[in-house]
Structure 1
Amino acid sequence: MLIQLLTLLCILLYGAGIFFLNRRLHAPSVYTRRILISNIGAVVVHTTLLTALLAERGLNHLSFLIVLSIIALLLGIFSVSRGRQLASLMLRPAIFGFAIVSILLLMLIPERSHMQYAMSIGLTVHIILSLLAFSLLVLASLYAGQVLFLNKVLKERSARALDAHLPPLLAVEQYFFRLLTAGTLVLTCAIVAGVLFVDGLFAATQLHKTILSFVAWLCFGGIVIAHYVRGLRGKPIILLTLTASSLLTLAYFGSRFVRDILLS
């Protein structure tokens, strides 16, 4: 009963957050307090919900849908931590919508097949770092999409280019590179932890995930080095970031989706 109540409350708070955020984007001076309460409340209740689920099912019982919901929560926390930054406010409804979908899937889809892990300290560190890295890099990809959108608006020289409701392009781009750098560093640590502590990382059943993860890591690392050493920026960097994020998503979620959802 507790989990059901937390689920309902979480969905209501995320829904309220989306409503108030959308209203505020058209009227920046209103709903500030309601946004703060609903946003913080949503991530707190979501954290409580996942804590209750993991306490019930066990930390060594991480399914595809639980991991998906954890990533949605991390994205929500990272976004809410940005406060009233306009770029973050524009992305937050999509992040909250993703969180609602992840919670609904978690509650509605029965999962009868799980991969259980013998949790060691090293494996725990690898999992935590992997989730943090993936969340940071997905968030960076969302900001990359925002950079593309703002570039398009500015090039079209439309009236919206001077709209006060749009965030400054340079500020969004700078934060995108900071997120990308942080995510790449955490992903590096996650890969090192995987090599050191995860058994069977290069086994046949895991090889495709390992290769895709390394390719994505090389892409992210190349982008970061090219930006800080050569000052490269612009559309090619954005598109390569989105490609690398797609590879990383396929590496982690591709086989898990087939195993935990389709084959269960």
Structure 2
Amino acid sequence: MPDSDVSQLLALMATGAAALYLYTAVRQLLRLEKREETLPKAVLVPGLIALALHGYVIYAGATSVSASFGFYKVASITFWLMGVLSVLIVIARPLQTLLIAIFPLAAISVLVATLTHETARPMTETPRGLLLHISTSIIAYALFGLAMLQGLLVLQQSRLLRQHKTRGLIRRLPPLDATEQLMFELILTGTVILSVSIVAGVYYVEDLFAQHLIHKTVLTVIAWIVYGILATGHFRHGWRVNTAVMLCASGFALLTLGFYGSKLVLELVLN
């Protein structure tokens, strides 16, 4: 198939994925009033199809001769992973508010990544060790992104409960204990995977403290320390919502600056 036809097909699939993402998010938003415990097929199936289309667009881009890990492509992969994780979570637990936040962002990311010009140079064959470092970095970032969103929800929910405001949105949310537990589970899992990423980077990335990598390395290590302190403080000392969300936001900001901030400057500003 000619490259132009492939590009048109991928653009069509990305558009379809975005439409289904938005449809699913709107349907889920409308269902909040009913506060149903399970996710119906009318919401789950379109969401799964959107993730499948998005996943294929990512796969097609990653296996092409011009494959790269540019800013838009990495953002698309990250939001796709966040979408997959969100669906897995809501299948097991009544915490469907995640879909309402994640799916619109995934819709934007797949459209931008597919319909705009690539911002990074095509990559040659990627060694498995480096691929392990990159993939675990993205997975950890996706988990921390979900934890950040969940933390904001927990903070708002806790504030409304303290003010005895039990009407409106808070009545449609899961119990505070459930949302808080999920936040800490996401943080702990993300910290473990980020640890794997750092170890893989030490072993497989050449000159980890080179000029173009040192800021990313330092910020990532600081973020890892912040998340480690947060996990230890919660499980050993019982740190609660305010401290946890503050540290979670700090760690996420450091990771964003270290990875996406540097890619944004190098590829979109200086390129």
Match of 1:78 in 2: 85
What letter corresponds to residue 49 of structure 2 in structure 1? G
2:86 counterpart letter in structure 1: S
Q: CA deviation at 1:157?
A: 0.4
2:112 maps to 1:105: yes
Is 1:126 the counterpart of 2:118? The answer is no
Provide the rounded CA distance (Å) in 2 between the counterparts of 1:172 and 1:130. Answer: 25
SS class of match (1:14) = helix
Aligned partner of 2:97 among 87, 90, 94: 90
The answer to whether structure 1 residue 55 and structure 2 residue 63 are counterparts is: yes
**SS in structure 2 at match of 1:200:** coil
Partner secondary structure for residue 212 of structure 2: coil
Calculate the TM-score normalised by the size of structure 1.
0.93
Alignment-derived partner of residue 15 in structure 2:
8
Residues 157 and 170 in structure 2, CA contact (< 8 A), matched pair in contact too: no
| Contact 1:20 1:31 (C-alpha < 8 Å) held by counterparts | no
The alpha carbon displacement at 1:254 in A equals 0.6
Query: Compared with structure 1, are the counterparts of its residues 37 and 196 closer, same or farther at alpha carbon in structure 2 (3 Å cutoff)?
Result: same
Change (3 A) 1:31 1:65: same
What stretches of structure 2 of length at least 5 have no aligned partner?
1-7
The counterpart of 1:177, out of the listed 184, 205, 225, is 184
Query: What is residue 143 of structure 2 aligned with on the other side?
Result: 136
**How far, CA to CA, are the matches of 1:113 and 1:187 in structure 2?**
24
Q: Is the 8 A contact 2:82 2:146 kept in 1?
A: yes
Distance 2:35 2:233 in 1: 37
What are structure 1's unaligned runs of at least 5 residues?
Answer: none
Structure 2 equivalent of residue 18 of structure 1:
25
The equivalent residue for 1:32 is: 40
Work out whether residues 140 and 193 of structure 2, in 8 Å CA contact, stay in contact via their aligned partners in 1.
yes
- Residue 118 of structure 1: how far off its partner (Å): 5.1
Closer, same or farther in 2 for the Cα pair 1:199/1:117, shift >3 Å?
Answer: farther
Give the whole-Å Cα distance in 2 for the aligned partners of 1:7 and 1:162: 32
Share of identical aligned residues, percent? 31
Shift of the 145–244 alpha-carbon distance from structure 1 to 2, 3 Å rule, reads: same
Shift of 1:39: 1.1
2:158 aligned with 1:158 = no
Q: Structure 1 residues 254, 135: closer, same or farther in 2, change over 3 A? A: same
Q: Determine the structure 1 residue equivalent to 2:236.
A: 229
The CA deviation string for residues 3-42 of structure 1, in whole angstroms up to 9 with x for no partner, is 1221121111112111211111123459822101111111
- C-alpha change, 1:165 and 1:196, in structure 2 (3 Å) is same
The whole-number CA distance in structure 1 between the counterparts of 2:167 and 2:256 is 33
1:104 shift after superposition = 2.2
**Residues 104 and 158 of structure 1: is their aligned pair in 2 closer, same or farther, counting only changes over 3 Å?**
same
Give the RMSD, CA atoms, in angstroms. Answer: 2.0
Relative to 1, partners in 2 of residues 1:57 and 1:97: Cα closer, same or farther, differing over 3 Å?
Answer: farther
Q: Report the Cα distance in structure 2 between the residues aligned to 1:225 and 1:189, rounded to whole angstroms.
A: 18
* Other-structure match for 2:5: none
Amino acid at match of 2:191: T
Give per-residue Cα distances to partners, 1:90-117, cap 9 Å, x unaligned. 1212201111111222133323543736
> Following the alignment from structure 1 to structure 2, what is the Cα–Cα distance between the partners of residues 40 and 100?
13
Q: Does 1:193 align with 2:200?
A: yes
After superposition, the Cα gap between the structure-2 partners of 1:26 and 1:193, relative to the gap in structure 1 and judged at 3 Å, is same
Distance 2:39 2:243 in 1: 38
Q: Distance in 2 between matches of 1:222 and 1:180?
A: 11
Show CA shifts across 1:209-256 (max 9, x none). Answer: 111001100000011111112122220121111111111111100110
Instruction: Encode CA deviations 1:132-182: one digit per residue, 9 max, x unaligned.
Output: 111111111111111101111101101328954121111111111111101
